Structure 1
Amino acid sequence: MPLLRFDVIEGRSEEELNVLLNTAHDAMVEAFDVPERDRYQIVHTHKAHEMVIQDTGLGFKRSKDIVL
């Protein structure tokens, strides 16, 4: 199983992060037939000014809910 790293802007609740991590893991299990207990995930939270994620010409505005 690959290590999944998530970079998010601080302020998400523990419940929101659990939903994010569980959903990502479920997708890995389904898409790559990874064993259910083969799970390596790390969340890094940042202040909003520490993450600069700009539009790449697609014409939409990014929100504070972005996940890298």
Structure 2
Amino acid sequence: MPFVRIDLRKGKSPEYRKKLGEIVYDAMIELINVPKDDKFQVITEHDRADLNHADSYLGNHYSDDLVFIQITLNTGRPVELKKAFYTRIVEQYQAQLQGRPDDVVINLVEVAKENWSFGHGIAQYA
């Protein structure tokens, strides 16, 4: 049931964007108990001028390759699981896409199960 939005600077290849989505998807399956095939992602590229962010925050120094990952998911996962999830995404981003760890911002938006419909106007989890 997670819905993933990934926003990044224009200019990355389709393969790069697909790999980034797969990194997030794999981490969801492996670490936060998301079932296989529960994959809903929107990956959007933006002009640099449309990504409005500080140069640095909390000791992180951002480049033009900053990636925003926002995931809407059911509430209830423990903090330690979330921390491991964040770490896995950044580790794989570095390993598979040679990205900088500073350039990954992740936000989880937790909602109640009744806030989802996966077709036919039915609240399948309500």
In the superposition, the TM-score normalised over structure 1's length comes to 0.87
Distance 2:58 2:4 in 1: 27
Distance 2:43 2:51 in 1: 14
Paired residue for 1:56? 57
Q: Measure how far apart 1:39 and its partner are.
A: 0.4
In structure 1, runs of 5+ residues without a counterpart are: none
Greater per-residue helix proportion: 2
- Aligned with 2:67: secondary structure? coil
In the superposition, the TM-score normalised over structure 2's length comes to 0.50
- Aligned with 1:29: secondary structure? helix
| Aligned-residue RMSD, C-alpha | 1.2
In structure 2, runs of 5+ residues without a counterpart are: 69-126
Paired residue for 1:13? 13
Q: Measure how far apart 1:44 and its partner are.
A: 1.5
Q: How many residues align?
A: 67
Larger Cα-atom Rg: 2
Higher normalized contact order (CA 8 Å, seq sep 6+, divided by chain length): 1
Distance 1:57 1:25 in 2: 27
Q: Measure how far apart 1:3 and its partner are.
A: 0.4
Paired residue for 2:47? 47
Distance 1:66 1:35 in 2: 28
Retained in 1: the 8 A contact 2:2–2:38? no
- Aligned with 2:61: secondary structure? coil
Greater per-residue strand proportion: 2
Paired residue for 1:26? 26
Identity %: 30
Q: Measure how far apart 1:61 and its partner are.
A: 2.8
